[in-house]
Amino acid sequence: MDLSLDGARTQAIPACTVNGRTYSAPRRPTAVICYDGCDPAYVAAARAAGVVPHLVRMMDEGFAATALAAMPTFTNPNNVSIVCGAPPSVHGISGNYYFDAATGREIMMLDAEGMRTGTILAGLSGIGVRVAAVTAKDKLLKALAKDLDGIAFSAERADAATQEGNGIEDATRLVGRPTPAPYHPDLSLFVLDAGVKLVTEGKVDVAYLSLSDLIQHAHAPGTAEANAFMKAVDDRVGALLAAGATVGIVADHGMNDMADDAGAARVAYLADTIDAAFGAGRVRVICPITDPFVRHHGALGGFVRVHVTDPALPVADVLGTVAGTEGVGEAMTGADAAARFDLPPEREGDVVAIAAPGFALGAHRADHDLSALAGTRLRSHGGLAEQAVPFILSHPLNEAYRAKASGPLRNYDIFDFALNGVI
Ligand SMILES: [Zn+2]
């Protein structure tokens, strides 16, 4: 049918389908921020302190809700879930590390075979949308940039970016300041400043901006340091809004205090507990939060996997011991965890333990370097207590997505809502 005859022909908006969902090319520049470790309590405290006017405007005039992060509530599984629009059972990344039973080695998931599926970012670039992925941590870059024909670089290695490898030559020139020091909160602000430049200078149509949770690991909601960081992020959000962008904000996980009244970390060391019950060397306890980039949580989080390496030791016995350990909120078989949390079953342990609120889980006490905490309270994530995250959009939802938002929301719905769901 030739619609041009009636003079009402409209150009169809290009769209791509990724992991079973369709994403429209944006009508406005669109920035999605993964606000690493931004527990909803940080937003509430900053709002009460009056330091985040642009976030407040988004919440009041656009859309704001609480969504659930993917389990385990770690950075890599959730960043990958967000850019894939799908849970770990689809893309295969269910932690930073997994245990390879064949070799007995712990392997970084993103370094191994990587993701099994494509990303929304690559899908959009494939239909001609100009896309940028900017991340604080270089470790995430390979996953975010998978098959992406666009701009992709990390703040950590901004000065090393090349046109050929990253779609941009020396990204410090874009931002106008040197690569931030490693292990510094400015890594996140550098990411946002890059996003502001790319959007306001009309260089991209869609930007994914992934921050780091250095501040949240060290500072509770409402503290001077946390609010100062919230304000610094809010300033950049304001610049994106002023440029007329759709802004979507979501987090990869929340963050909770895991220390006692005296300030000491409250940790259940499950490998020590299992060794005491059954003898040493019969299991491997994997802490999938382990991350060479982040030192100050001592590789302690709210989710661990226990692999029973001695076939003579019944899994049910280990499960019983883990479940009865103080600090464990829930324990289940790996198969049950995979089914309940949409995880790839072949990368699960025999037993999965999730921390009780206010506790962290570890392997052997000797495996964890708590000196990196340097006298600060342990704040971390990984369990169900850190699953609630903000889900905020700058613009109101259309009718179809208002209906959709009345059901359960996941953090990895954010691109769907930002691209398809706003007025
Ligand atoms: Zn994180």
CA of 158 to the centre of ligand 1 (A): 20
Give me ligand 1 centre to Cα 350, in Å.
Answer: 25
Per-residue pLDDT tens digits of the chain, which is 423 residues long? 333 334 444 568 899 999 999 999 999 999 999 999 999 999 999 999 999 999 999 999 999 999 999 999 999 999 999 999 999 999 999 998 888 888 888 888 887 567 899 999 999 999 999 999 999 999 899 999 999 999 999 999 999 999 999 999 999 999 999 999 888 889 999 999 999 999 999 999 999 999 999 999 999 999 999 999 999 999 999 999 999 999 999 999 999 999 999 999 999 999 999 999 999 999 999 998 887 655 567 889 999 999 999 999 999 999 999 999 999 999 999 999 999 999 999 899 999 999 999 999 999 999 888 887 777 899 999 999 999 999 999 999 999 999 999 999 999 999 999 999 999
Q: Which residue has the tokens 């994106």?
A: 240
Instruction: Evaluate whether 385 touches 253 at the Cβ level (below 8 Å).
Output: no
- Alpha-carbon span 352 to 269, nearest angstrom: 14
Q: Do domains 13-255+384-420 and 267-378 have the same CATH topology?
A: no
Q: What is the Å distance from ligand 1's center to 77 Cα?
A: 9
The pLDDT, as a whole number, for residue 296 is 61
- Residue 171 near residue 163, CB atoms below 8 Å: no
210 CA distance to ligand 1 middle (Å)? 9
Query: Residue 419 C-alpha to ligand 1 middle, in angstroms?
Result: 24
Q: What is the CA(414)–ligand 1 centre distance, in A?
A: 16
CA of 411 to the centre of ligand 1 (A): 13
pLDDT at 116: 92
Residue 39 CA to ligand 1 center (angstroms) comes to 10
Predicted local distance difference test score (pLDDT) of residue 369: 84
The domains of the chain are located at 13-255+384-420, 267-378
Rounded to whole angstroms, the Cα distance separating 369 from 141 reads 27
Residue 52 alpha carbon to ligand 1 centre in Å: 21
Q: How far is the CA of 246 from the centre of ligand 1 (A)?
A: 23
- Taking the centre of ligand 1 as the mean of its atom positions, its distance from the CA of residue 144, in whole angstroms, is 15
For the domain made up of 267-378, give the CATH fold.
Gyrase A; domain 2 (3.30.1360)
CATH 3.40.50.360 fits 13-255+384-420, yes or no: no
Residues with Cβ within 8 Å of residue 423, at least 6 apart in sequence: 395, 396, 397, 398
Distance 276 CA to ligand 1 centre (A): 33
Ligand 1: centre distance to CA 213 (Å): 6
What lies within 8 Å, CB to CB, of 198 at 6+ separation is 132, 134, 151, 174, 204, 207
Spacing, Cα 188 to ligand 1 middle (Å): 12
- The alpha carbon of 36 and the centre of ligand 1 are apart by a number of angstroms equal to 4
Is the entire prediction scored with pTM above 0.85?
A: yes
Separation CA 233–CA 235 (nearest Å): 5
* Cα 255 to ligand 1 centre (Å): 9
Q: What is the helix (H) or strand (E) element at residue 308, kind and residue range?
A: strand 303-308
